[in-house]
Amino acid sequence: MTDITAENSGAGRNPVAPGAGRTVASAVPQSLVARLARGITAAEGAATEWTVAPLTGEPLAELPQSTVADVDTAYRLARGAQQAWAARPVRARAAVLLRFHDLLLKRQDEVLDLIQTETGKARLHAFEEVLATAMAARHYGRAAAGYLKDRRRGGAVPVLTHTVEGRRPKGVVGQISPWNYPLELSVSDALPAFVAGNAVVNKPDTQTALTALWARELLVEAGLPAELWQIVVGDGPVIGPAVVERADYVSFTGSTRTGREVAQRAAARLVGASLELGGKNAMLVLADADLEKAAEGAVRACFSSAGQLCISIERLFVHGSVADAFLERFAARTRALRLGGGLAYGADMGSLVSQRQLDTVTRHVEEAVKAGATVLAGGQARPDIGPLFFEPTILDGVTDQMAVCAEETFGPVVSIYRFDTEDEAVATANATPYGLNSSVWTRDLRRGRAVAARLRTGTVNVNEAYAAAYGSVASPMGGMGDSGLGRRHGAEGILRYTEAQTIASQRVMPLAPAFGLDDEKFAALFTRSLRALKALGFK
């Protein structure tokens, strides 16, 4: 391992947050694990796999592993339940989401323990998942009937054709989710699928399956028929393709590499897919930004969930005239972040989830430092707190040759770049195949929105890190370019789970020669009608 010397180690180590006195074993007892594991669709006597609690490295849960045959069973059960569910009125389906909203807020401590234990994140960041999931439940609980209602459309000839556009459920949605936001990314994408009349076969990441299983129990308590949400657990490359190959629609969240494979499988079967993938997100601090607020926002932008957040910022562009003043504030705040693994509020940042994540973060930082980057804060692993802790890290002097410049780190590491003009900042921020999220800081909101519109990302936050856009659940969220296809949230987030169907009924006369009109007269009549319809302003 490269020795990061005191000179470039960012001066001072992050303080440690006090522990909460609760252990992983007491927060997630084996009796709870056994109860939740019964929600996995897997045959009796299935092989099992242990997960490990990232905070401490202790064994956490022994989970049955579903096979391809179990995926078949899951689809059979889901299909068996879907039609009766779809036949219920939308408002009855939506009521389940609204009850789930209330239950989730009431019982949030249970799931906060699970999320922290499975992912290692700080409780505040686990709470963000509760918040986002409750907002999605409220939104689709209240707005689904409007999104899904039949809409009258104009026919070929007014009055003669009565046309209605309707929405039908796809059937069974195959949903594959990652480990980083296990509540939000398993549940929030499933809620609009359910309310639109679908069933869901979900494959969460094995590491975070308990959180998804807990959410399923809660949704069943809120009134969802139990068979409608099947959860299969197992190795991604083994059962992931089986989930895709049986789905009527695929909702995938994960890496760009896996997303491409999923898209190809879905394309071969001509089923639709939405893909929420990786990013290399940029934040722009313009010359007129409020530097205190921007520094505080940058901390949230870069280090929430230890940077294991698809929309977190890994490239920070700051105007040269304010760079020193901004960096002084940003680095001081970053160095003061309290790291900790207690199962209670109090830590500002938790652990990474796995050795694989720690290895990538360490490699990106070490290689950059070796090639001449300077560490303004952090830069080191913190095994004194837990096996997978790494300090929130700010790198200056990063160049194109360093992996950290272009590759997604997916950890608590941000690189600083200075710019002179807005055009230059926008062009460099856009010079990435990704296009997920970005953030612009300025005192002039109009200017901020104008810069935002030039950034090639699915969401842009002005004077906020990521929560303003993500929390706008009535508005679409997703990626351009290598960051994905399709959107969650808003109308797109629910209509993707439906097929549009046009039902047009013809009255009085057909759209063809009739009532003794010969072909020529019919053509002449229709030519006059078309001219009249345009003159009258018909669309």
DSSP state of 316: E
Rama region for 277: left / alpha / beta (φ>0; ψ in -120 to 50; rest): beta
Strand partners, 40: 231
Cα 198 to the center of its chain, rounded Å: 20
Distances in Å between the Cα of 473 and the Cα atoms of 99, 222, 467 are 18, 21, 10
The yes-or-no answer on residue 296 being catalytic is no
User: Of 311 and 426, which has the nearer Cβ to ligand NAD?
Assistant: 311
Identity of the residue, 169 or 278, whose beta carbon is nearer to ligand NAD in the bound complex: 278
Q: Of 133 and 258, which CB lies nearer to ligand NAD in the complex structure?
A: 258
The answer to the question of residue 54 lying near ligand NAD (CB under 6 A) is no
Stretch (H or E) spanning 441: strand 437-441
Binding mask of the shown chain, residues 415 to 454, with x at each position contacting ligand NAD by CB under 6 A: ---------------------x------------------
Kindly report the length of the chain.
539
Torsion region of 397: left, alpha or beta (phi above 0 gives left; psi -120 to 50 gives alpha): left
Tell me the number of residues near ligand NAD by CB under 6 A: 29
Q: Which of 49, 245, 261, 367 lies at the binding interface for ligand NAD (CB under 6 A)?
A: 261
Told to check if 242 binds ligand NAD by CB under 6 A, we report no
253 binds ligand NAD (CB under 6 A): yes
**Contact flag: residue 236 with ligand NAD (CB under 6 A):** yes
From the CB of 490, what's the least distance to ligand NAD, in Å?
14
Catalytic residue among 129, 276, 314, 464: 276
- Binding segment for ligand NAD (CB under 6 A), chosen from 85-93, 94-102, 161-169, 252-260, is 252-260
Binding to ligand NAD (CB under 6 A): which residues in 305-334?
A: 310
**134 and 480 Cβ atoms separated by less than 8 Å:** no
CB of residue 396 to ligand NAD, shortest distance in Å: 24
> Does position 192 bind ligand NAD by CB under 6 A?
no
* 365 C-beta neighbours (distance < 10 Å), count: 29
Return the residues of window 196-235 that contact ligand NAD according to CB under 6 A: 203, 205
| Minimal distance, residue 262 CB to ligand NAD, in Å | 5
Residue 222 to residues 93, 98, 110, 132, 531: CA-CA distances in angstroms? 10, 8, 16, 18, 56
Q: Which stretch binds ligand NAD (CB under 6 A): 28-36, 270-278, 449-457, 459-467?
A: 270-278
Please name every residue paired with 418 in a beta bridge, in sequence order, or none if there are none.
318
472 binds ligand NAD (CB under 6 A): no
Under the binding rule (CB under 6 A), the answer on residue 411 touching ligand NAD is: no
Q: Which residues pair with 459 in a beta bridge?
A: 437
* 180 touches ligand NAD (CB under 6 A): yes
Q: What is the dihedral of CA 333, 334, 338, 340, to 10 degrees?
A: 160
Q: Which two tokens stand for residue 176?
A: 């594959």
Query: Of all residues in the chain, what percent are helix, strand and coil, respectively (each to 5)?
Result: 45, 20, 35
Which of 54, 64, 178, 307 touches ligand NAD (CB under 6 A)? 178
Closest to ligand NAD by CB, 205 or 248: 205
The yes or no reply on residue 484 touching ligand NAD (CB under 6 A) is yes
Residue among 314, 318, 307 nearest 280 (CA): 314
Name which of 27 and 122 has its Cβ closer to ligand NAD. 122
- CA–CA gap between residue 518 and residue 509 (Å, rounded): 14
- In terms of Cα–Cα distance, which of 94, 79, 63 is closest to 248? 79
Structure tokens at 393: 């890290």
Closer residue to ligand NAD (CB): 283 or 310: 310
Residue type at 507 in one-letter notation: R
User: Which residues sit at the interface with ligand NAD, rule CB under 6 A?
Assistant: 176-181, 185, 203, 205, 236-237, 240-241, 253-255, 258, 261-262, 276-279, 310, 408, 410, 436, 479, 484
List active site positions.
276
